[in-house]
Structure 1
Amino acid sequence: MKHYINYLFLFFCLQFTSCAQQKQKKDSPIKKQDETLKIGADRVNLYLSILKNKNIAIVANQTSTITTLQRAEVSKNVMGSKSVTQHLVDYLHSYSTITVKKVFAPEHGFRGKADAGEVIVDGIDTKTNLPIISLYGKNKKPSSEQLKNIDYVVFDIQDVGVRFYTYISTLHYVMEACTEANIPVIILDRPNPNAHYIDGPVLSSKHKSFVGMHPVPVVYGMTIGEYGKMINGEKWLKNGIKCDLTVIPLENYTHNTEYKLPIKPSPNLPNQKSINLYPSLCFFEGTNVSAGRGTNKQFQIYGSPYLKNLNFSFTPQPNEGAKYPKHKEKLCFGENLEETEYLSSLQLKWLLKAYKQTSEKEKFFNPFFTKLAGTELLQKQIEDGLNEEKIRDSWKKELNSFKKIRTKYLLYK
C-alpha cells in the first residue's frame, strides 16, 4: 500500500511538471529558431544579379558573414556539399563580375574590437587590400567624394533592436548620403534578438543625438530592414528625401523567432544574456554605476563603490572593448543578473534600486542619461520617487502611437 501511494504521488508530480512546462511553453512569446531560417546575406539569388557589373561599397563589420553551400569531397572519391561561412566582403570581392571598391565601418570598427565611443580611423583591409572608411570618426556620414563612382551600397550589419545602439544611426546617414548622391541602397536583413517586444520612453526630438535619432521607443521591435523602410516612409532623412532602398528579406522568420547570434555584435555584448539585458542596463551608462564593462560579465552585472548594501562585488579592469572602464580598479558592489529570466519587457527595477541604495545621489546621474532615455522626464521621475508602474504609465500614449506607425513597415509577423 505504501509503495502504491508513493507511486501515485510520483505520478501526479510528473503530470503537474509536464502541465507547467506546457503552459510555460504556450505562454512564452519566443519560438525556437526554424532550422530553415535564412538571413538576407545568404539569399544570394535575390541580390547577386542586381550587383552584376557594378561598383559597390559595403557597410560592414565582424557580423557581416554569409553561409553558402560549396562542393566538397565528403568521403574518398565521393563529392557532396558543405556549408561554408565567410565574410560578406570576402565573398563579394571574389566575384569577377562585382567590383567592391571600399568598405564603410561603423562604431567598434570593421573587425569589431574598438571601445564604445572610441574614434575609428580609416585604413586598409589586410586581406583584400580594400580601403576601409570609418563612419565613427571625423565623419559619421559618407561624403560625396567617398561615394564617387559607386553604383550600389550594400548594408549588412547585425543590430540588436535598441534605440541607443548606434548601427541604426549609421544606417540613417548612409541612406541620406546615398540619396543625395543618387545611389541605391540594399539592406541584407538580419534577425533582431530583441524583436519580441516594444517598450521604453519614446525619444523627444530635442534630445536627438547619435545614440537616438528618431522618435521611437528604447526597444522598437523591428529588424534593421524594417527600420530602414520606416526611416524612408516617415521622411526622417534630411529635407524629407527618400532613399532608393531594397531590403533582401529573411526567410522563415517572425518577430518571435529565437535567434542566437553566432558572432557578438560588439565587444561588450558577448552573449545572449547580455543582449537581452542590454536595453534595461544601458541606462547605467548615464550614471555613476558600472554595467560591467571591464569584466567578463558585461551587461550582466551592475555595481558601484557607492552601493555597499548590495552583496555582489567586482573590480573593473581594462580589457578588450573597455580600455578605461568606469571605476577602474575600484571595488564595486551590486548585483549579478546572469540567472534572471529571459526578459520580454524593459526593466527599471535595477535602476530604481541603485538610485535608492546609492550613497551619492547628487552624483548619480550625468548628462548622458537624458540622451539615452531620450527625455528629461525619466530622471525627474526617478528623483521624485515614482515607482515603476507610474513611470510606465507615462509611456503608454506615445508607445501606442508608435505601434500604429510601426505596422506600416513590417515585413514579418
Structure 2
Amino acid sequence: MRCFFLTLLIASISQAQVLTGLDVLEQSKFQPLDGRRVGIITNHTGLNRQGRHLVELLVKAPNVKVVKLFAPEHGLYGVKDEKIGDSIDEKTGLPVISLYGQHRQPTDEMLTDIDTLVFDIQDVGARYYTYIATMGNCMSSAAKNGVRFVVLDRPNPVTGLIVDGPNPDPQHVGKFTCYGPFPVSHGMTVGELAQLFNAEYGINADLHVVKMDGWKRAMWWDQTGVKWVNPSPNMRSPTEALLYLAVGLLEATNISVGRGTEIPFECFGAPWIDSNQLAAALNALRLPGLEFHPHDFTPTNTPHKIHRDQLCHGVKITVTDRDAVKPVLSGMAMGWTLERLYGEKFDDARMENLLLNRRIRDEVLKLPNVLDAEKLWIDDVNAFRKLRQKYLLYE
C-alpha cells in the first residue's frame, strides 16, 4: 500500500503542469498591475506557457502602461557575454536600460516616471548566478524611491531542497556574485529569496510576489511541464544548472569548465591534465550521483580566455542519480583532486573567487579525505535552513 501511494505521488509530479508567476498574473488579467506605470526587469526567459513574452503581454494589456525595460547580465535577449550598454527595443520601441554596464541598479532618475517594477527572470539556484543580485539591487532602488516591486515567481531548476556549501566571508557580501550571506546553493525560488532579502537585509520594499501554481519543492525541472529556455548562453540544460553548483567553483581558476564547447559545465580540463588519470582519481572518490569519463575538448567561440583554442584534456561528467548529488562537496572534491595531481600547475588559490570563503578552501585542500568536507559547512547549512523556513512559499 505504501509503495502504491509513493507511485501515485511520483506520477502526479511527473505529469504536473506548473503555472509560473507570469501565467498566474495573466490568468488574473494583470489585476495586480491595474493602472500602474511599469518598468520591467526581464530577459528572454520571461515567457508564459504559450511562449509569449512578458513585455509583449504587458504592452498589450489595456490597464497597464509599460514605461521602460531593464536588462540584466547577458542582455534582454540573453545572448551577450560582455558588458552591455543601453538601447532601444526594436520590437516595442521602449528604452532598454542595462543593469550590466555603467549601472548595476536603477538610479533615482530612472524611476521618476515609474510606480511599479516587475521582475521576471529565470534563476538557476546558485549564489554566484548574478540575476538574484540584480533583483536585490533593484528592490533596494524601488524601496528608496517608493516604487512597488512585483516578483513573478519561477521554479528553481535544481529543486527547492538542495542547500549546500558554506556562507561567504563577510567582506564579500554585497558583491555581484554574492548578494547575501547564504550558502552556495540556497534551494529557494526568486520569490522566496525576494521575501528573505526584503526582511533580513533591511530593504523594506513594497514587495508583492505572484506565486506559482502547482510547484512542489521536490520537483526537478523536467517534472514541471515548463519549457526550458537557456537563462544564459552557457546554461543549456537543467543538468548543467545542477553541475554549475559544482564545476562553477573551478571557473575562476586556470581550468576550462567547457565554455566554448557544446557541454559547458558538463566537462572540465586543461592542456596539462592526464584525462585517464583524472577520471580514475575522481571515480575512486565515489562522489554520490556522478561518474567521470576521460574527455578531450577545445574551447572555441567564447570571450573567456582560459585555454581558448587549445586542446584540453580532462573529464566529462555524467549524472547517474540527480537526487544523490552533493554539488558543493563534488566541486570541492574536484579542486582537491586537481591540487593533489597537478599542484604545481593548478591555481587552487582562485577557487576562493566564487566559493568566497578562504578558511573553507584552505581546510578542504588539507583534508586527507575530501569526503569529510561537508562537516566544515554543515553549521552554515543548518542555520540557513532554519532562517529561510519562514520565507518559503511552497511545500
TM class by smaller structure: 0.7 to 0.9
Which letter maps to 1:353? Answer: T
| 1:183 corresponds to | 147
Counterpart pick for 1:269 among 223, 235, 240: 235
Maintained 8 Å contact 1:291/1:302: yes
8 Å CA contact 2:221, 2:238 repeated in 1: no
Question: CA-to-partner distance for each residue in 1:108-155, whole Å, 9 max, x for gaps?
Answer: 11100112xx21111011111111101111110100111111011100
* 1:53 aligns with one of 30, 35, 39: 35
- Matched-pair contact (CA < 8 Å) for 2:247–2:265: yes
| In structure 2, C-alpha distance between the alignment counterparts of 1:390 and 1:338, rounded to whole Å | 23
Q: Distance in 2 between matches of 1:127 and 1:366?
A: 46
Compared CA separation, residues 383 and 325, structure 1 to 2 (3 A): same
Q: Is the 8 A contact 1:64 1:88 kept in 2?
A: yes
Q: Secondary structure at the match of 2:109?
A: coil
Structure 1 segments (4+ residues) deviating >4 Å: 28-31
**For structure 1, which runs of at least 5 residues remain unmatched after alignment?**
1-21, 68-83
Pair 1:120-2:84 in alignment: yes
* Equivalent residue, structure 1, for 2:369: 387
Q: SS of the counterpart of 2:198?
A: helix
Determine the structure 2 residue equivalent to 1:77: none
Which residue of structure 2 aligns with residue 95 of structure 1? Answer: 61
Q: Equivalent residue of 2:41, what SS? A: strand
More deviation, 167-176/40-49: 40-49
Amino acid in structure 2 at the alignment position of 1:389: L
The alpha carbon displacement at 1:282 in A equals: 0.2
Alignment of 1:32-181 (within 5 A): 32-43=13-24, 44-46=26-28, 48-67=30-49, 84-115=50-81, 118-181=82-145
Deviation at 1:330, TM superposition (A): 1.2
Pair 1:397-2:379 in alignment: yes
Q: Return the letter of the residue paired with 2:212.
A: L
Root-mean-square deviation (Å)? 2.2
Give the match's secondary structure for 2:195: helix
The one-character-per-residue Cα deviations of 1:46-72 (angstroms, maximum 9, x if unpaired) are 4712212221000000100113xxxxx
Question: Aligned runs of 1:327-366 on 2, under 5 Å?
Answer: 327-342=307-322, 344-346=325-327, 347=330, 348-358=332-342, 360-361=344-345, 363-365=346-348
Cα drift, residue 30 of structure 1: 11
Q: C-alpha displacement at 1:381, in angstroms?
A: 2.1
CA distance in 2, matches of 1:199, 1:250: 24
Could you say what secondary structure the match of 1:85 adopts? coil
Deviations 1:188-233 (A, max 9, x none): 0000012231111112221221101211101111100000000012
User: Structure 1 339/37 Cα, relative in aligned 2: closer, same or farther at 3 Å?
Assistant: closer
Matched, 1:282 2:282: no
CA contact (8 A) 1:212 1:371 kept: no
* TM-superposed deviation, 1:385: 4.0
SS in 1 for 2:318: coil
| Equivalent residues in 2 for 1:370-381, closer than 5 Å | 370-381=352-363
Q: 1:150-202 CA distances to partner (integer Å, 9 max, x unpaired)? A: 01110000011110001110011000000000001000000001223111111
Residue among 133, 157, 168 paired with 1:203 = 168
Distance 2:74 2:29 in 1: 27
In the alignment, the residues of structure 2 paired with residue 277 and residue 251 of structure 1 have an alpha-carbon distance, to the nearest angstrom, of: 27
- 1: CA distance, partners of 2:169 / 2:386: 18
SS of 1:337 mapped into structure 2? strand
Identify the range of structure 1 (385-394 vs 279-288) with the bigger mean alpha-carbon deviation: 385-394
2:295 is aligned with 1:315 = no
Any idea what SS the aligned residue of 2:45 has? coil
Distance 1:243 1:34, change over 3 A: farther
For residue 412 of structure 1, give the secondary structure of its aligned residue in structure 2.
Answer: coil
Amino acid at match of 1:50: P
* 1:78 alignment counterpart: none
- Greater C-alpha Rg: 1
Kept in 2: contact 1:29–1:256 (CA 8 A): no
Kindly indicate whether the alpha-carbon contact (under 8 Å) linking 1:284 and 1:351 is maintained by their aligned counterparts in 2.
yes
When normalised by structure 1's length, the TM-score is 0.83
Match in the other structure for 1:295: 261
Could you tell me how far apart the structure 2 residues matched to 1:241 and 1:252 are? 29
Retained in 1: the 8 A contact 2:298–2:311? yes
% identity of equivalent residues: 33
Could you tell me whether the CA contact under 8 Å between 2:38 and 2:64 is conserved in 1?
yes
